[in-house]
Amino acid sequence: MEPRILQVRTKILKANDTLARQMRQEFLSRGIFVSNWVSSPGSGKTLWLENTLRQLIDRGLQVAAIVGDLETDRDAQRLERSGACVRQIMTHGLCHLEADMIRKEWEAWDIGPIDYLFIENVGNLVCPTSWDLGESLRVGLLSVTEGEDKPLKYPGLFNTCDVALLTKMDLAQACEFDQVLAIENLQAVRPGIEVFETSGKTLEGMDLWIDWLENRRKISLLSNP
């Protein structure tokens, strides 16, 4: 049975990737920069994303977010506090989002022109790895409470990310977190990856992050006229 299972999975992933490529081109053609945020549960992803949305809105940009969770819409409610338009996808046990889920949610959403679409994936360091959602940027988050070795334990996820955020840096000293080692481990699995040291509580790293994000969007749009 195992070869049959592999064949089915390969076929499903191929269909997902084909759809994701089409979605990426469509988003970029409309000037929409899509990012897919992946991390373990409790990494501080929702808080940092909420602050990111708020900062972009303050700069006069139009932003929206789609949130994936097994159950409840609590994270969507939190993100709405930023003033952004937010939609929730409840996966009911599925440990990742898929391109077709994003497409269906997007097509049912009469939102108007936007500059950024943020996708907060289900908290998991394994399942989201293989699933392209049509994003132009994959963001991986690693909190100081998880330890420096997570990139080495879960290389499949971190080596698919374009940028890594070290979160909860306000707790680094209390957790005896070695950020130099953490960055070395990230670079070992994804050489050249951009890394930001951040805190959702103190907003450490926020200005640098927003400036980098805006520049990345401009580059993506210029590369895909």
pLDDT in tens, the chain (225 residues): 455 555 556 777 899 999 999 999 999 999 999 999 999 999 999 999 999 999 999 999 999 999 999 888 889 999 999 999 999 999 887 889 999 999 999 999 988 899 999 999 999 999 999 999 999 999 999 999 999 999 999 999 999 999 999 999 999 999 999 999 999 999 999 999 999 999 999 999 999 999 999 999 999 998 876
Residue 109: φ, ψ to 5°: -110, 110
* Residues in the chain, total: 225
201-210, long-range: CB < 8 A, 24+ apart: 201/47, 201/168, 201/170, 202/169, 202/170, 203/51, 204/169, 204/170, 205/165, 205/169, 206/51, 206/52, 206/55, 209/52, 209/165, 210/52, 210/55, 210/56, 210/59
Give the pLDDT of residue 184. Answer: 98
Q: Supply the pLDDT for residue 4.
A: 57
Burial of 121 (0-12, 13-18, 19+ CB in 10 A): buried
25-72 pLDDT, tens digit each: 999 999 999 999 999 999 999 999 999 999 999 999 999 999 999 888
Q: For residues 148 and 17, what is the distance between their CA atoms, to the nearest angstrom?
A: 31
Helix or strand run (H / E) with residue 26? helix 2-29
pLDDT of residue 9: 60
Judge whether 6 lies within some domain. no
Report pLDDT for 171. 97
pLDDT at 1: 47
- Asked whether residue 23 is domain-assigned, the answer is no
Q: By C-alpha distance, which of 61, 59, 51, 129 is closest to 95?
A: 129
Return the amino acid letter for 82.
S
Task: List the CATH number of the domain containing 185.
Answer: 3.40.50.300
Backbone angles phi, psi at 54, to 5 degrees: -65, -40
Classify residue 191: in a domain, yes or no.
yes
E-strand ranges in 24-84 read 33-38, 63-69
Structural domain containing residue 204:
32-218
- Is 123 a member of any domain? yes
Number of folded domains in the chain?
1
Q: Is residue 14 assigned to a domain?
A: no
> Is 27 inside a domain boundary?
no
Measure Cα distances from 179 to 53, 183, 185 in Å: 26, 6, 10
In a domain, 40, yes or no: yes
Q: What is the pLDDT of residue 225?
A: 62
In a domain, 179, yes or no: yes
pLDDT of residue 31: 95
- C-alpha torsion sign, points 33, 87, 130, 213: positive
